[in-house]
Amino acid sequence: MEERPVVPTHLGIIMDGNGRWAQKRSLPRTAGHLEGLKALKKVIKEASNQGIGFVTFYVFSTENWKRSKQEVSYLMGLLVSKLHGELAFYNKYNIRILFRGDIATLPKEVATVINNTISATAANTGITCILAINYGGQDEICRAVNRFLEEKPERNITCKDICSHLDLPEVPPVDMIVRSANERRLSNFLLWDSAYAELEFYEKLWPDWNFEDVQRICTDFAKRVRKFGGVQ
């Protein structure tokens, strides 16, 4: 039997370049976000075909609140309408949706649709699509430490304690983080989990991503030699 190449168990994607995509076409930045959602659907479908178990998409960072009120409210509105409107898509492709980030402080209607989406896709057994919303790696570590302190204020915290108090402790750490739009930074994404993640940066703007970009990620990942501090 033909052996399948190794793919990341957990892939993290920093979806960047929506604004530039729109700007190049003299469209409002919001048009780039809408097109970016179409790319997300193609990418998760191909990730599932490739046998990837988990994909975390960076949707909205704790720093993105600095953007104009109009852009922020467009993004929040898009979340509310599309999370609900795309349920048939997730269920058709057996995709389970989870969220990572400070969901409790989001506008109430966004938090509600998030909780509904988790329940409506909980029985799906295929790929897990994790949407990082109001997410910051530093913020997640702080919240994990505070959760721990509430439980066990009497003893020192360990790395294992932090792992078990992150937003999704059951999800394995990210194996590879990729970013679109030719920016080479993490921008506060998955800081704890990225300790030994492979990194790759691609030029293509996020709304232009398609099936072949996932195939390229898998090819790039298969070439990496991971040592985790040891000797190969």
Only one of the segments 52-60, 83-91, 110-118, 215-223 lies at the binding site for ligand IPE (rule: CB under 6 A); that segment is 52-60
Q: Is 193 an active-site residue?
A: no
Nearer to Mg ion, 8 or 19 (CB): 19
Distance of CA 204 to the CA centre of its chain: 18
Closest distance of CB 19 from Mg ion, Å: 6
Q: Tell me: does residue 101 bind ligand IPE (CB under 6 A).
A: no
Partner from ligand IPE, Mg ion, none binding residue 59, C-beta < 5-8 Å depending on class: ligand IPE
Residue 28: how many other CB atoms lie within 10 Å: 15
Question: Applying CB under 6 A, which of residues 7, 16, 55, 134 lies at the interface with ligand IPE?
Answer: 16
- Treating both helix axes as pointing N-terminal to C-terminal, what angle do 69-85 and 108-121 enclose, rounded to 10 degrees? 30
Phi and psi at residue 111, to the nearest 5°: -60, -40
Q: Which residue is nearest to Mg ion (CB)?
A: 16
Partner from ligand IPE, Mg ion, none binding residue 58, C-beta < 5-8 Å depending on class: ligand IPE
**Residue numbers at the binding site for Mg ion (CB under 5 A):** 16
Are 196 and 226 spatial neighbours (Cβ–Cβ below 8 Å)?
yes
Label each residue of 41-65 as H, E or C: HHHHHHHHHHCCCEEEEEEEECCHH
Q: Which residue is nearest to ligand IPE (CB)?
A: 19
Q: Is 64 an active-site residue?
A: yes
Closest distance of CB 57 from ligand IPE, Å: 8
- The string of DSSP letters for 177-219 reads EEESTT----TTSSTTGGGG-EEEE--S-GGG--HHHHHHHHH
List the one residue out of 94, 99, 3, 8 whose CA is nearest residue 51: 8
Q: Which residue in the block uniquely carries the two structure tokens 């996932």?
A: 214
Q: Tell me: does residue 60 bind ligand IPE (CB under 6 A).
A: yes
Are 200 and 220 spatial neighbours (Cβ–Cβ below 8 Å)?
yes
Are 101 and 134 spatial neighbours (Cβ–Cβ below 8 Å)?
yes
Of residues 167 through 206, those in contact with ligand IPE by CB under 6 A are 181, 183, 185, 187
Nearer to ligand IPE, 100 or 165 (CB): 100
Closest distance of CB 28 from ligand IPE, Å: 11
Q: Is 202 helix (H, G, I), strand (E, B) or coil?
A: coil
Nearer to Mg ion, 71 or 161 (CB): 71
Just list the catalytic residues.
16, 64
Residues of this chain that interact with ligand IPE (CB under 6 A) are 14-20, 58-61, 64, 75, 181, 183, 185, 187
